[in-house]
Amino acid sequence: MPKYSVVIPCYKSSKTIGKVVALTVEEFERIGIRKYEFVLVNDCSPDNGQTRAELFRLAEQFSFVKIVDLGNNSGQHNATMAGLSFATGDFIISMDDDMQTRPSEIIKLKTKWTKGMISFMGIMKKRKSPSSAGWGVC
């Protein structure tokens, strides 16, 4: 059974990251994914340690959560790259920390994996609001 890694760069996300993790876990369970990890990267959030504290709370609560705590703000893409180096899954999903991409869209990615594709990305078809965002997978 393959393992899935979810890499999420986190910046001022103390109020959103818990929901992202919870909804993603619910989606994994719904579509039959049982082995997963989350690599949450604190991109030196300037919020008096609130994001950092929330990430460590999640890691304490869930054994499948890993934390990468950057000492300097490096930007979303560099934070994602840092997280990738700690991911151990057979499949890696990069997500946003603020629900811009909905966990319910993961099924589209899983469908491509089961068809044998090894590298692809989801692209927003239309973006009106975070709740209406959807992936077109190519």
Indicate the domain borders of the chain: 4-101
Mean pLDDT of the chain: 86
What is 4-101's CATH topology? Spore Coat Polysaccharide Biosynthesis Protein SpsA; Chain A (3.90.550)
Rg from Cα positions in the chain: 14
- Predicted pLDDT of residue 116: 57
Q: Which two tokens stand for residue 78?
A: 């560099």
- Predicted pLDDT of residue 125: 64
pTM of the model: 0.84
Side chain identity at 36, as an amino acid letter? Y
Below-70 pLDDT ranges, the chain:
111-138
Find tokens 């965002």 and name the residue: 133
